Amino acid sequence: MYLTKEEEKMLEGEYGEATSYVMRILVKLGEAHNAERLVDAKSAHVAGGLFIEEIEWYQKLVKGGARFRCFTTLHPWGVD
């Protein structure tokens, strides 16, 4: 799968541990689906957080320095 220079830097860890971790997941998914490349996202929606395992996964990403790079909304689970 083709990666841009910036995507390669992300994968190699130059943008932090969390970005490298997520890029490894995206590359594996892309390869599994025979994707030629990644595409830019203009927005994203996070629908997780209902289960404790999801929350722990998000906490791991935040501790690793994760930040969204596009407009992002969050599903309002557990909000009255």
pLDDT in tens, 26-55: 999 999 999 999 999 999 988 777 778 888
Tokens of 3: 């990666």
Question: pLDDT at residue 80 above 80?
Answer: no
Q: Which residues contact 65 (CB under 8 A, 6 or more apart)?
A: 15, 16, 17, 18, 19
What are the residue ranges spanned by the domains of the chain?
5-74
pLDDT in tens, 63-74: 988 888 899 988
Q: The pTM is what?
A: 0.81
